[in-house]
Amino acid sequence: MAKRKIVLHFPEESIDKPITYHLVKDYGLIPNILRAKIDENEGTLVMDLEGPKEKIDEAIEFLKEQHVTVQEAIKDIVVDRNICVDCGSCVGVCRPGALSINADDWTLVFDQEECIFCQLCIDTCPVRAIKLMF
Amino acid sequence: MAVTKTYEEINEKIRRGEAVVVTAEEIIDIVKEDGVAKATAKVDVITTGTFGPMCSTGAFINFGHSDPPIKMAKVWLNDVPTYAGLAAVDAYIGATELSETLGMAYSGAHVIEDLIAGKNVKLHATAYGTDCYPRKEITTYINKDVLNETYLFNPRNAYQNYAVAVNSSARIMHTYMSTLMPRMGNATYCSASQLSPLINDPFYRTIGIGTRIFLGGAPGYVAWQGTQFNPMQARGENGVPVAPAGTLALIGDLKQMDTEFIRAATFHGYGASMFVGVGVPIPVLDEDVVEKAAVEDKDIYATIYDYSVQQRTRPNLGKVSYAELRSGKIEINGKQVRTAPISSYSKARKIAATLKEWVQAGKFFVQEPVQSFPMDSTFKPLEIVTEEEI
């Protein structure tokens, strides 16, 4: 049995497909959804996928055929407070609101529980304070 | 009789350690509680601050002479092209110049930050060679301790207000106003608003050529009005411009600066810039100075522009106050749009507070401008014409 953490990004045309059902029914996998954010334009799912390694590989191929973007081996997004200047640029690209500015002292707050690993903040940060930790 | 004070009287108080100094945020509540007249009598200096990306930033460097000497024609610092069309070993490194090997990941701004941090920087230069400067090439290492005069000279800093940027197109845009999400998915803004130097002195009464300032953690000076200086910009009833207006050309000693208050920046897909920390002390000359400096975010407006229109004049989508912008959401054409700053308000506060400490400690005096800025200056466009048409 293998276990892999993956992030799925759904384009508009795929958001109404019962992806998780197929992962269970067709590939016999155990998907554990960690985070989800879906609206009318796009969707993101963060999940652990557990099952035989070859079945996970087949399931990822299936997802790609459904026009779902699959990112693997995501660990965590980390803000390095020694580098951050609290400008707030990252807040503008954070759809789930995981990154915000504290209205009292105007410093950056990162709520990891809300993060969906879209990674837009990493390139947006002008001082490269946000990193992906594997 | 209304209270008035001269620069000399204020400096004498600073010298004696008796000056009452407050920040441009603190003056808001003081005026609310005591009124303008009492506040004018009580307060001597109001400190301002801003920390935002300012592309028109760079440093003059004198390298000293090698043996045998070289008249440097082409210069690179850590592979970043550096302008050397000056005397033999004088050069200017601009913040937005990109590395020839690393591209957008490293720039003139990073070289400046590395020099301020005391790091070693690789210098490479080539020359055609002359009788008095025979050397044709040099590769060596420098840092701020071995350089001669090294000072920032920034042609345009501390914009008096700026735009609010949105993107109505269907694709993500990478701009100097940061990443703009499609279909107006966000709105970015860039001003220290109620703490910003030129917003607190909207008609440049106390800020002019020669004003002593805080620049990147060190004392500096206003050298000139900044480029694109536009005092004729539309203003609100309180005198504060509602779009980009005045600017400052600033000068300061790189060797005394601190990377806490000046940092290299990379805007993904756009290029390099530099976060520059600027603070200006405003001397309380009279009630008018206090009234203007007591302006607060709810009365400072910025204009929203659609950056998806790739033209000189972008569509104007209305005005919004900084109080609304700082709430995290604004409404544009009935749609709720998430807002995000791109200049650091926490750093702006720290700068105003640091400058306040310097003045209180008797280390920093207010300087009367030796000349005021031209109030009739206009911001002209560049037309594409033939020699006959101009």
Tell me the domain boundaries of chain B. 7-54+153-360, 64-147
Is A68 in the same domain as A82? no
Q: Where are the alpha helices (DSSP H) in chain A?
A: 19-25, 53-65, 120-124
Quick check: B342 and A88 CB within 8 A?
yes
Burial (CB count within 10 angstroms: exposed 0-12, middle 13-18, buried 19+), residue B176: middle
Are B195 and B345 in contact by the 8 Å Cβ rule? The answer is yes
Is A47 in the same domain as A15? yes
Is A67 in the same domain as A83? no
Question: Is the per-residue pLDDT at B192 higher than 70?
Answer: yes
Residues in B closer than 8 angstroms to A103, CB to CB, are 326
Q: What percent of chain B has pLDDT over 70?
A: 100
Number of residues assigned to chain B: 390
Q: Which one of A87, A95, A119 makes the best mutation probe of the B interface by having the most chain B beta carbons within 10 Å? A: A87
Residues in A closer than 8 angstroms to B263, CB to CB, are 85, 127
Q: Which one of B23, B167, B171, B178 makes the best mutation probe of the A interface by having the most chain A beta carbons within 10 Å? A: B178
Nearest to B186 among A92, A100, A106 (CB): A92
Q: What is the DSSP string of B117-167?
A: TT--EEEEEE----SS----EEEEEE-TTT-S-EEEEEEEES-SS--EEE-
For the stretch B321-355, pLDDT in tens is 999 999 999 999 999 999 999 999 999 999 999 99
Quick check: A123 and B268 CB within 8 A?
yes
Is A126 in the same domain as A82? yes
Structure-token pair, residue B228:
């694109």
Number of domains in chain A: 2
Quick check: B179 and A107 CB within 8 A?
no
How many Å apart are CA B15 and CA B36, to the nearest integer?
25
Angle, CA of B311, B314 and B319, to the nearest 5°: 165
**Phi, psi angles (nearest 5°) of residue B129:** 85, 130
ipTM: 0.94
Is A97 in the same domain as A53? no
Are A91 and B344 in contact by the 8 Å Cβ rule? The answer is no
Domain end among A72, A103, A118: A72
Instruction: Write the DSSP symbol of residue A73.
Output: -
Question: Is the per-residue pLDDT at B361 higher than 80?
Answer: yes
Question: Is the per-residue pLDDT at B1 higher than 80?
Answer: no
Structure-token pair, residue A44:
């993101």
Domain range for A49? 2-72
Nearest to A89 among B185, B326, B342 (CB): B342
For the stretch B211-225, pLDDT in tens is 999 999 999 999 999
Q: Considering Cα of B31, then B344, then B319, then B239, what sign does the dihedral take?
A: positive
Instruction: Write the DSSP symbol of residue B241.
Output: B
Q: Give the three-state DSSP class for B172.
A: coil
Is A17 in the same domain as A39? yes
CATH number at residue A50: 3.30.70.260
Q: Give the three-state DSSP class for B137.
A: strand
Quick check: B340 and A120 CB within 8 A?
no
Is A47 in the same domain as A65? yes
Domain end among A35, A54, A72: A72
Is A82 in the same domain as A65? no
Res A74: pLDDT = 60
CATH number at residue A85: 3.30.70.20
Quick check: B341 and A123 CB within 8 A?
no
Res A130: pLDDT = 96
Are B301 and B194 in contact by the 8 Å Cβ rule? The answer is no
Cis peptide before B241 (omega within 30 of 0): no
